[in-house]
Chain A
């Protein structure tokens, strides 16, 4: 029997703004643009929004800032901040609040101008005192450590990491909104400057600007508002640590817990998924999550991504927007996973559209592999 919450709420409006570089705009202005567009996409007015879910890297109290900026009169708020996966969590929290009648129209939103503001990852993440004497450059130091261990334990190679980056660029080249487009060769990836062994610049996500927003309502109302509502079918979360030193096993993420919970709640089999959106802050993430979410056995993620298996035309459609590696990564990327799943399920993905996309998994990651949240989205036909 499937979970009571399955299909009870749906995304009826979705928009992005300032994807790539948006000089001259503040983070809140970009968030505002995406929110205005998402509300319009839902056929609603801003005054209809009565719940806000938000996390950013530049606002201590983001839900308050959003309410003020957009002039909302909201009665429910969700400011959970578990890094980049916050928005997959917000999706579940919004579905719960809607189903409980605590609100009627929920806005989930994010905005960042980190590229044009400073060109570096913006983070409010505080240093961990027991790590500080060793000057880790998080997040990349932590992901370098995880990659080193995976290579040691399972024989994963830099060529495997390159396969992930190549697949992402292949998809980005089909997406006019992607920030990093154009030819990219294996040699260019393998000869890129090393930043934290074994990870090079080519293994790292982009530093871009960007905002995204979605509007959710209960399913009964969603059918009146949208010609193609995207239903929230299930979700699961896990937080395994704060500091990378406290991660129990650097080769196994909390996705191994969150994935099965989400699939069971959705009543969906892994093989039925049409699209898999994985938070690729670094190339090693894609390999870890493919394993932990059960698409291959632990340790076989490297060979799994060989021969273009996750690239355009491959067996499994993964990160069809080009991912954090080649499309957009404005600091917290989780809502962009959802934006791509919505575009694909609605059949609005243009040249990169996959056939008959009815079921999508969005897997968010936050911190240093610390928080993992998996959400399953589906079309009307998936209900």
Chain B
């Protein structure tokens, strides 16, 4: 018996389709409530009853670096989302930000495609 439902796409393609539609979605296990990022077919604890839910977009900076080069500098940050999962992203409006800074997500549309980025919420830190 095949375990692939051919009427659906895999988690990566599904996530990318949502992003294309302007939606930042996360997987969540129905029973345990555990969120998952990046999208996969099961959670680290083995749950497979996954559904897609809208991300709150709230998070804090867990770690941050600035890649410096001749063509300019861009930061790469690891963001801890309010849902308890971590994602790599960037804070395009600032050179860098303190670890612990509160941030909020938005979808940025680049030539290469849409991506989730974050902005620092002024005056807030975790």
Contacts and interface: CB of A to CB of B under 8 A. Distances in A.
Interface of A: 129-131, 133-137, 141, 144-149, 152, 193-199, 243-246, 250
A196 B38 contact: no
User: Which of B76, B86, B90, B96 has the most chain A CB atoms inside 10 A of its CB?
Assistant: B76
A197 B113 contact: no
User: Which of A129, A134, A193 has the most chain B CB atoms inside 10 A of its CB?
Assistant: A134
A158 to B, nearest CB: 14
Interface of B: 12, 37-39, 62-68, 74, 76, 78, 86-90, 96, 99-100, 110, 112-113, 115
A221 B76 CA distance: 53
A307 to B, nearest CB: 28
A131 B88 contact: yes
Nearest to B114: A133
Contact of A245 (B64, B66, B88, B100): B88
A135 B68 contact: no
Contacts of A135: 67, 74, 76
Contacts of B115: 133-134
Nearest to B74: A135
Contacts of B88: 130-131, 134, 136, 243-245
Given A134-B115, A145-B64, A196-B68, 5 more contacts: A130-B87, A144-B65, A152-B100, A193-B68, A250-B63
B64 A195 contact: no
Given A136-B76, A250-B78, A196 B65 contact: yes
A197 B100 CA distance: 17
Contacts of A130: 37-39, 87-88
Contacts of A129: 12, 38
A146 B63 CA distance: 7
A149 B68 contact: no
A145 B68 contact: no
Contact of A133 (B37, B65, B68, B113): B113
A141 B86 CA distance: 16
Contacts of A141: 65, 67, 76
B99 A148 contact: yes
B33 to A, nearest CB: 20
22 contacts: A133-B112, A133-B113, A134-B76, A135-B67, A135-B74, A135-B76, A136-B67, A136-B76, A141-B65, A145-B63, A145-B64, A145-B76, A145-B78, A148-B65, A148-B99, A193-B68, A195-B67, A196-B66, A196-B76, A197-B64, A243-B38, A250-B78
B126 to A, nearest CB: 12
A250 B79 CA distance: 13
B78 A194 contact: no
Nearest to A200: B68
B116 to A, nearest CB: 8
Contacts of B90: 134
Nearest to B112: A133
Contacts of B89: 134
A167 to B, nearest CB: 24
A245 B86 contact: yes
A348 B113 CA distance: 57
B63 A148 contact: yes
Given A149-B62, A250-B78, A196 B67 contact: yes
Closest 7 CB pairs of A and B: A144-B65, A133-B115, A130-B38, A145-B63, A149-B63, A152-B99, A197-B66
A270 B96 CA distance: 40
B16 to A, nearest CB: 9
A246 to B, nearest CB: 8
A360 B74 CA distance: 41
B3 to A, nearest CB: 22
Contacts of A144: 65, 67, 76
Given A129-B12, A145-B76, A197 B112 contact: no
A135 B89 CA distance: 9
B111 to A, nearest CB: 12
A135 B88 CA distance: 10
A129 B19 CA distance: 14
Nearest to A148: B63
A44 to B, nearest CB: 46
Contact of B68 (A146, A197, A246, A250): A197
Nearest to A147: B65
A244 B87 CA distance: 10
Contacts of B96: 197
Nearest to A135: B74
A333 B45 CA distance: 34
